[in-house]
Structure 1
């Protein structure tokens, strides 16, 4: 983008004119032992803590201390319907209708619960299609589902692979796979944004293609929720799952989310695991009634939710509501575009960005490969207070998150990277 300019003054000017600049101050930015703030670029792994989170969590601790069990009804934010306080905000973030969204369990647990309903293998249609470099947990989960149903966990997995010498996946290759094996594939389960390359897939295109061949389609949106415009309802996907501890800044191991398309909302024929929290909330406490399934995504709940985790999620979602997701996306594209611009100044013979160049095919993460580099380079950045993310065999993932990262952060990151590379080259010449 020709509008970007070199030099620190440009970065400082962009920060000064940033409409979202005040939100950085609403987060705890970790510091080194000398008290200097880290340049934190790993919101794609664990988001930073909003300062208001403590207030939200402490309110529930206070109500628990003062009210005990009566907090289910008498707390400032009653615990019994607490998950409902999150639904509308979460639906906005992932582009869904409230009836399609529920916050519950954790990411891979939710993936399994969704596959109970949407992986329905037969003797002839039993395979599961995933991307070849899917996040390991997704791979392990689908393999275990195959074993659970009595199928071979290697033969039953169909891999969508990049072409020789390429890093990104090609839709024409997916079409060819489905043309050849579509009648054997029961489920397509793709990471909405690939954790390694940062490629943001066209969810609607994949869903339409899968449904055309009679496959159910789901997405793991762990790297998409709070990062890109997922538009899950419009995608037509049967289901999606995500976590809240990355871009949704809700704390390590916090609860995940599920999307189930509204066309399945009232289907009682779908197989599912159930518990008392998926039972009709009007009669739930009668205890002796036969199971009466709730409609919508709520009908996939099992247990009463952990309120302290939900309080942290609520603190984050309230901030997302205040900022407006469209404003976040706008800044994200500009910030990541600036990052890309600066990286390219270092020379493509030295450093390569494997993330798509189109802003519509990525989120804020850029995955970079440095020629002849190993983890030593990443370690040197860490020592300099640049917190990025190393992924074997040779990728450094950096995610300038629009809520709390600045243009100066990006400038300083690339400055340190350039300096480290210069020192390395000097050593090599010696």
Structure 2
């Protein structure tokens, strides 16, 4: 009998929830319903749940718009003109940066491009871009298009590092070794700090140091890292980074993204940038000058005034992360993921499935990827959701991603997911 179905195991999961040092904030989120109760949601690495407080927060901005109209820019309860500054401090704490090193703006891939304008400066001798072979497709498209824009063949200029034979995750030491041997040709390193497919957490500090030692600029895609793992971008010395806010940060589909530029670059007037009205010094913005008045902060990479309704959702999310703190969330994430790993090991034993995420807790975020051999996992995820109320994410053809997000996932959710997966694997699926 599977561990997930042993008598008393559900009770044990409930006891773990009751005794955990960090109480869940599940009640503060809208959980999809199932069978008169709530679903077990493990797809927060794709789209986080909606905070219950968001409707009222958006209503405040709508009220200001209705009652103040254009004067809301300066007279609203959170004036729109300077609204993005409210996010600077909590966003910096989230990623381990100085406040002036971060700005919330645009979408993730737009920010990647804006930052590559500044930090991908290829030459014939040094023009390659180093990414992981399992990079998210938009990252691949972005770097290939940047190489082509500069006149280089993307098939030659983009180097895709692969995991070792028989492994699903790229090891940090292999990235460091590649840079030590071939880094003289690398203009830019751009890796996902947490890989979307395997859940692998790379060593940001070690890889950044290796990239700099080789003479390359180093940027990080934090789409699956921000709000998931503790980050120390400033101390690690990363040149730049970008992240989205609709996964672990629960700010809504397509919500605004974030960007980081290390302070050593902020006053560098030689860096090329694309500019817009919000790139200039706000103190002189309404003088309507024809040329930008530079600011020595990440705001210099902004283009336009931000969409306030989207920014309100990000601000609310950042407030929640500030209230709990990433150290406490990461500690609970490790507890949840370890418990889920033990359950899934029992479920996978004797069945055509195995965990492909690294086993070492320090090498992964809040995600376990399970490869189900020889089957399309799309119908499997549909049955898990429809029949058992368990949301997991499918990466076709054969990988399930389960992400116990510590703000709202519970040990009982982990038990439900393992029990449901065991039942569906035993029963087969169409």
Structure 1: how far apart are the matches of 2:369 and 2:411? 18
What residue is the counterpart of 2:416 in the other structure? 412
Residue number among 371, 378, 383 corresponding to 2:381 in the alignment: 378
Matches within 5 A, 1:229-308: 229-288=230-289, 290-308=291-309
Structure 1: how far apart are the matches of 2:21 and 2:55? 25
What residue is the counterpart of 1:214 in the other structure? 215
- Structure 1 runs not aligned, ≥5 long: none
What residue is the counterpart of 2:395 in the other structure? 391
Contact 1:336 1:365 in 2 (8 A): yes
| 1:77 partner SS | coil
| 1:186 partner SS | strand
Structure 2: how far apart are the matches of 1:171 and 1:204? 10
Q: Does 1:27 align with 2:20?
A: no
Matches within 5 A, 1:31-46: 31-32=33-34, 34-46=35-47
TM-score with structure 2 length normalisation? 0.95
What residue is the counterpart of 1:70 in the other structure? 71
Q: Report the Cα offset of residue 336 of structure 1.
A: 0.7
Cα displacement string for residues 209-251 of structure 1 (whole angstroms, at most 9, x for unaligned residues): 0001100000100000000012111111100000000000000
Structure 1: how far apart are the matches of 2:408 and 2:142? 33
Matches within 5 A, 1:25-424: 25-32=27-34, 34-288=35-289, 290-350=291-351, 351-375=353-377, 376-384=379-387, 385-424=389-428
Cα displacement string for residues 106-130 of structure 1 (whole angstroms, at most 9, x for unaligned residues): 0000000000000001111111010
After the TM superposition, which parts of structure 1 deviate over 6 Å for at least 4 consecutive aligned residues?
Answer: none
Contact 1:349 1:371 in 2 (8 A): no
Structure 2: how far apart are the matches of 1:172 and 1:306? 41
Q: Which moved more, 1:267-276 or 1:13-22?
A: 13-22
Structure 2: how far apart are the matches of 1:393 and 1:372? 9
Q: Report the Cα offset of residue 288 of structure 1.
A: 2.1
Q: Which moved more, 1:251-260 or 1:225-234?
A: 225-234
Q: Which moved more, 1:394-403 or 1:286-295?
A: 286-295
Q: Which moved more, 1:11-20 or 1:180-189?
A: 11-20
Q: Report the Cα offset of residue 10 of structure 1.
A: 1.2
Q: Give the count of matched residue pairs.
A: 422
Q: Report the Cα offset of residue 172 of structure 1.
A: 4.1
TM-score with structure 1 length normalisation? 0.95
Structure 2: how far apart are the matches of 1:164 and 1:18? 39
Contact 2:354 2:371 in 1 (8 A): yes
RMSD between superposed Cα atoms in Å? 1.7
Cα displacement string for residues 310-353 of structure 1 (whole angstroms, at most 9, x for unaligned residues): 11111111111111221111111101110001111224453311
Q: Report the Cα offset of residue 257 of structure 1.
A: 0.1
Contact 2:263 2:297 in 1 (8 A): yes
Structure 2: how far apart are the matches of 1:199 and 1:349? 25
Contact 2:347 2:421 in 1 (8 A): no
Structure 2: how far apart are the matches of 1:244 and 1:285? 30
- Structure 2 runs not aligned, ≥5 long: none
Contact 1:147 1:153 in 2 (8 A): yes
Structure 2: how far apart are the matches of 1:96 and 1:209? 20
Structure 2: how far apart are the matches of 1:159 and 1:19? 42
Contact 1:368 1:397 in 2 (8 A): yes
| 1:230 partner SS | coil
